[in-house]
Structure 1
């Protein structure tokens, strides 16, 4: 049981701005950063909250200067990283038309304090975080901007880093505005920050191989900024309060995933079903069975999907912003549980395979005719299972002077009954494992 001494204590806070190598390059960050329909649709969702848990180096656990040196290097490398991701140091700004019948929302990169950086402490060990069956609620305190929605970026930072020192570890938690970036952009930022951190010594010139592409993509016939035909934000923005949830993490070995994939493909007489689709089908069936839904109750499995590779021509993977969609497979509870794993996995495969450039453009046109924001309370039904994040993200490749992370954890944001997050990591000895975090209402 957590006592009053087991609470996260904020020790210090500051703001970090991009470190500009030259006045010419500084002027590049003075422009307005326009939001696309993909971005605007995310304004009612929570910030992305993901972080990495590291063990303190054994020889430095009791070293008085360890944390101060780490914090100094994190701040400096973050400043260098923000040069490449300068919109993250800005704030959202709304500009109304003269007759106040509509408005635009964009990122002002000038009038801002920058990205927030917090140092906090917690008198608990790594084992207190990783040992319980369920992810302990204290993990939510490892992230700033608790319960904030992306629209709050008008007054709150678009990026906030919280470094929480444990007795034997360090958690680096990042809260990033989801109207500015999706998961691909988020982990590209983390990767470049890690690279710059490790390469420090080149004071202002750390070469990076995959710089973000900040030029915004708009469909043909749609020029920025986008006019929203509304008079007030309240017509557009909603907030979601999650019920009390249990969050549990399951590990799947490479061998079990391979077996699952082979089974799904054999049962569907194909070779096209992926590992992720096979695992998602297993999770969909398992959660639906546990819910004890009526035989004729319709249920769905939604997958968050990256649009970049599906565009014609494709968007580069370094495109910074949102480029995601949700595809869905549906069935009655009876159909889902009476048929084999391969039947469900094939439905998920078709949902992914049928998502192409034409579908993306059609969804754009529909949005432009009737703009909306995704709102969890309306977007998700109680019989749904939603797969977020991706095992393709290189989460465990990010290092900050303490070796590989021992765990990835997430905050309160965007969680509801049936939400699942997938990641992939390397165990000791090099064996591949998948990690899936499931949320279920108590």
Structure 2
């Protein structure tokens, strides 16, 4: 794609000597795909020649407490195919690029409160650092950052992190600390906790916990029914805005008919149920077709004992809700919301999480699980970034005008974001097969009561 020229790439290493050695990754680190996940921040800033230097110097300093990001992964040879993190200070790649476009080219509709689609991850491809997966895993950087300057003086900072090393919560904490260091702070606000073995040892008294059949859960992902016509289609990303008023209406609709002795459905449960309904309708699923929805539960405060504050690693598990598409499409929103809640409640139980980790430990080869994709028709996955500290990241030139996922390429991958407009609206960033997009958008707005 034209428009963006990469000018410079350097390696940023920790500013001081850091601990060196190898750390085995936890089971939760290795049960997902071994890919990089990205966040992108757009800034409407008067461009200054000092910006690259400020970012690189503060990155070198923040990598001292967050030294695992400057390391490399490697495979442990043995009967169990596992990964370890080598803390070797090999450094982070930092790319500088320039674009002939202005910020408005990417964010044109973003400042307006209408229903026109906001920019989507498809448009950001060239603003995102590329990871060379042909390199052996030992040579791939765990983190790569790309700073792109626009013709108008605005900038974006897109940071990609190996998902095997950290998840969303830890990414937010790291970016917040990096920004604080760029503004001149000299020590971290939240000390990162690097001992991943705490996710391997559970309280012995809980070993009599109920048994969960995780092997069955992992294998019960619905497949598209035989005979369903599936045109060859490319996936497309799109971001839709839902206003505070529309969200309140949806939440009220989900709570209509609810047994009042139970707690009210949350924004997340109502919106996720709505997204699931709209996807089933847009894909024109048959009534008897089974459909799966995966939700992610951050377990750091739900475990007994809870994970230490500042735990720097993956701390979320994916839990599946499965039912017939007909029920999701025809029944009131309360039904879909109740299925979402059921999955969250299951994943929030300490004994379930420990049992899930034990199951992963018993798997000889976790890479088998990494290929079991929860995505693709007839399934969806919805994660919420609204509580992750990714907003208001100020490196010294003001807060971002937009932040979101740097890439979405997998059918069914959905992220709920807070909007940077401060008007209480939310953004739903999703990837679907292109032929279902218009229908999804139509249902998304028209099915709000």
After TM superposition, the score normalised by the length of structure 2 is 0.81
Where does residue 11 of structure 2 map in the other structure? 15
Where does residue 63 of structure 2 map in the other structure? 82
Where does residue 387 of structure 2 map in the other structure? 392
Where does residue 440 of structure 1 map in the other structure? 432
How far residue 126 of structure 1 moved from its aligned partner, in angstroms, is 1.5
How far residue 47 of structure 1 moved from its aligned partner, in angstroms, is 0.6
Contact 1:140 1:410 in 2 (8 A): no
Which has the larger displacement, 431-440 or 253-262? 253-262
Contact 1:92 1:106 in 2 (8 A): yes
SS at match of 1:268: coil
**Inter-partner Cα distance in structure 1 for 2:298 and 2:161:** 18
How far residue 146 of structure 1 moved from its aligned partner, in angstroms, is 4.2
1:317–1:335 CA distance, 2 compared to 1 (3 A): farther
**Inter-partner Cα distance in structure 1 for 2:407 and 2:166:** 18
Two-structure CA RMSD over aligned residues (Å): 2.4
Alignment of 1:33-52 (within 5 A): 33-42=23-32, 44-52=33-41
Q: Deviations over 1:77-113 (max 9, x none)?
A: 111111111010011123435xxx5665312222x53
How far residue 123 of structure 1 moved from its aligned partner, in angstroms, is 0.6
Contact 1:416 1:439 in 2 (8 A): yes
Alignment of 1:350-365 (within 5 A): 350-355=342-347, 356-365=349-358
How far residue 379 of structure 1 moved from its aligned partner, in angstroms, is 3.5
Where does residue 148 of structure 2 map in the other structure? 164
Contact 2:28 2:315 in 1 (8 A): yes
How far residue 437 of structure 1 moved from its aligned partner, in angstroms, is 0.5
How far residue 431 of structure 1 moved from its aligned partner, in angstroms, is 2.0
Where does residue 422 of structure 1 map in the other structure? 416
How far residue 220 of structure 1 moved from its aligned partner, in angstroms, is 2.8
**Inter-partner Cα distance in structure 1 for 2:343 and 2:296:** 11
Residue 72 in structure 1 maps to residue 62 in structure 2: no
Alignment of 1:131-280 (within 5 A): 131=108, 133=117, 135=120, 137-146=122-131, 148=133, 153-168=137-152, 169-200=154-185, 206-216=186-196, 217-220=198-201, 244-270=234-260, 271-280=263-272
Between Structure 1 and Structure 2, how many residues are aligned? 391
Contact 1:116 1:160 in 2 (8 A): yes
Q: Deviations over 1:173-218 (max 9, x none)?
A: 0010111001111111111111111225xxxxx1322121111123
**Inter-partner Cα distance in structure 2 for 1:307 and 1:256:** 30
**Inter-partner Cα distance in structure 2 for 1:198 and 1:52:** 17
5+ unaligned residues in a row in structure 1: which ranges?
A: 21-25, 201-205, 223-241
**Inter-partner Cα distance in structure 1 for 2:389 and 2:120:** 22
Which has the larger displacement, 68-77 or 127-136? 127-136
After TM superposition, the score normalised by the length of structure 1 is 0.82
Where does residue 226 of structure 1 map in the other structure? none
Residue 286 in structure 1 maps to residue 308 in structure 2: no
Residue 108 in structure 1 maps to residue 86 in structure 2: yes
Contact 1:74 1:197 in 2 (8 A): yes
Contact 1:139 1:409 in 2 (8 A): no
Contact 2:401 2:420 in 1 (8 A): no
Contact 1:396 1:425 in 2 (8 A): no
SS at match of 1:78: helix
